[in-house]
Structure 1
Amino acid sequence: MLGLRVVRITSGISLRNFSRHATLKSSQSPVGFIGLGNMGASMAENLVTKGHRVVVYDVVPESVAALEKKGALVASSPAEVAAQADRVVTMLPASRHVQDVYEGPNGILSSVRGGALLIDSSTIDPTTAIDISKKASDKAAVFMDAPVSGGVVAAKAGTLTFMVGGDEAEYDAAKDLLSFMGKNVIRCGNVGTGQTAKICNNMLLAVSMIGVSEALNLGQRLGLDAKTLSGILNISTGRCWSSDTYNPVPGVFDGVPSSNDYNGGFGTALMAKDLGLAQVASTETLSPTPLGSLAHQIYRTMCQKGYAEKDFSSVYKYLSTEESCEPKQ
């Protein structure tokens, strides 16, 4: 064990009243955080810098060491995190990772405390979220899905949007914690609805990023400067987040992945995964999503062509380097 001094939740105190009990200040009651990737590391750091004692775990030792240097405490497994914390946040790549972290031999549910609040900010399929929620309930714990929007820039700034699916009675407790990492915390409904909101958002994001990339590539091939065209788009009807905040053309904006050789940010493989979740959902509900389907195919193709670890805005580079469709003489 870590030997931490842990203040337990007093019997009879509901999670929704947690933030109103002065004896349980953030500095006294540790928060667990599992998953320290591009997003998770910044989210956990915000909790540390804003006064929380944070117990972290990740499979990558370097990621753990970086947070430890900033003041986080370290656990050796998800089970050890859950044994030390009454509130645990997870931020993981895919459904299988979430299932392993929660349900594996050294998973959260093997040692979770009764009354604990478990918040998963990964993007997974709604069915998995609902299943884990039921298993957490069997352990007298509360599980909520709370995927995020805003990307690495918002994760670092603490301005993420959280889409929360969970019991309304416990929502205030979740919002109290998530507000240290985000600007907008919105309850969507019961468990699973947060994931539904997220996959719909990411499908739209993928489509808009492809559209912006196509327009900027076409404009440049017709002789327009990318900055000039971007400026026009951003005061015109084509304006969107992919053009005015996360522009995919290198050099248009500083501090975005496109100006860092598409490193960091939200990986193409993760976007392909999220689009796959949206396609499964569209099939199950008989919802026509032709542009979402095409976006899925484009991002899957990019993964096969070496873009898997690059930021999803690298679709601009992929499109701009494709050979011309003009027939050869």
Structure 2
Amino acid sequence: MAGPIKTIGFIGIGNMGWPMAANLVKAGFAVTVCDARPGHAAKFAAEAGGTAATDPVAAAKGMDCVVTIVPTSKQVGEVTAQIAPVLAAGALVIDMTSGQPGKTREIAAELTARGVAMIDAPVSGGVPRAKTGELAIMVGGADADLDRAEPVLKAMGTSIHRCGGIGAGQAMKALNNLVSAGGFLMGIEALLIGQRFGLDAGKMVDVLNASSGMTNSSQKKFKQYVLNRQFDDGFGLELMVKDLGIALEVGRDTNTPT
């Protein structure tokens, strides 16, 4: 049986990955990071600790665990194809990308053939909760692999949900974002209608948050990022569109009209 995780290669230190990797460093893991942007890994090592690597292979070689958090499953596949030859038997890959369950299952099968385990563990909570280590994490994979990954996940999140086999975490994340996007869109439509009627938008948000119309968006987005015209909550529209596409894909794969 593979032993406890002590060393981690962390691939992808963007808006979410940076604070997540920083929390792993704070938790005492030996973390080696890399990023597609030149100099970004070195900047992280200087500011947050850990070690900088120049490419995914250097970040993954000899590690107990490799964490990937990149924009798409296609990129995850490209990364795992590069690092697979240098992963030791018994290593664990934790893909925290909001990815495609079907593609993730394919990648997991390829890694399993090499003696490497994989789980998917996408997150929710945005940059603020990534910084505080209070993310919600939706995980999919074999129980033994999830048990082994738990100390790593607990360094980044406080709400860890086992959703099923490999790919189940990503399916749950996509469906969560489907619900989130629906609430956001309906809320924005209501604010627009209300403003045209003559209601104050800020007062509307206050009423929604004291009533049955309360949503995550009304609590954490409308005043903070929309009404002040900042629009910079750290989660780009293109990523939400991607996640909604994955939710529709899950619907098609389950023969659910979408």
Same-fold call, TM cutoff 0.5: yes
TM-score using structure 1 length:
0.74
Correspondence list, 1:125-164, <5 A: 125-164=100-139
Following superposition, the deviation at residue 258 of structure 1 comes to 6.7
Q: Distance in 1 between matches of 2:10 and 2:45?
A: 12
How far apart are 1:157 and its partner, in Å? 1.5
Gaps of 5+ in 1: 1-12, 20-28, 290-329
One-letter amino acid matched to 1:34: I
CA pair 159-259 structure 1, distance change in 2 beyond 3 A: farther
SS of corresponding position for 1:118: strand
- Structure 2: how far apart are the matches of 1:209 and 1:108? 38
State the match for 1:188 in structure 2: 163
Match of 1:276 among 220, 240, 245: 245
Corresponding pairs, count: 257
For the structure 1 residues 260 and 46, does the alpha-carbon distance in structure 2 shift closer, same or farther, using more than 3 Å as the test?
farther
Asked which structure has the greater RCO (Cα within 8 Å, sep 6+), the reply is 2
- Report how far residue 269 of structure 1 moved: 0.5
Question: Which whole-Å CA distance do the structure 2 matches of 1:233 and 1:142 have between them?
Answer: 45
Q: Helix, strand or coil for the counterpart of 2:61?
A: helix
CA distance in 2, matches of 1:258, 1:182: 29
1:1-38 superposed Cα distances (whole Å, 9 cap, x missing partner): xxxxxxxxxxxx434xx27xxxxxxxxx3211101111
| In structure 1, distance between residues paired with 2:237 and 2:55 | 28
The answer to whether the Cα contact below 8 Å between 1:123 and 1:198 also exists between their aligned partners in 2 is yes
CA shift, 1:222, in A, is: 1.9
- Aligned twin of 1:53: 30
* 2:190 corresponds to 1:202: no
Q: Which runs of 5+ in 2 are unaligned?
A: none
Equivalent in the alignment of 1:100: 78
Task: List per-residue Cα deviations over 1:107-146 (Å, max 9, x = no partner).
Answer: 2212111111110000111111111111111111110011
Q: Give the deviation of 1:60 after TM superposition.
A: 0.8
Please tell me whether Structure 1 or Structure 2 has the larger radius of gyration of its CA atoms.
1
Q: Secondary structure at the match of 1:184?
A: strand
Q: Distance in 2 between matches of 1:49 and 1:265?
A: 23
TM-score computed with the length of structure 2 as normaliser: 0.93
Structure 2 residue matching 1:48: 3-state secondary structure: helix
Which aligned segments of 4 or more residues in structure 1 are displaced greater than 3 angstroms? 256-260
Alignment of 1:241-256 (within 5 A): 241-247=216-222, 252-253=223-224, 256=225
Aligned pair partner of 1:267 in 236, 247, 251: 236
% identity of equivalent residues:
39
Which whole-Å CA distance do the structure 1 matches of 2:221 and 2:236 have between them?
A: 14
CA shift for structure 1 position 176: 1.3
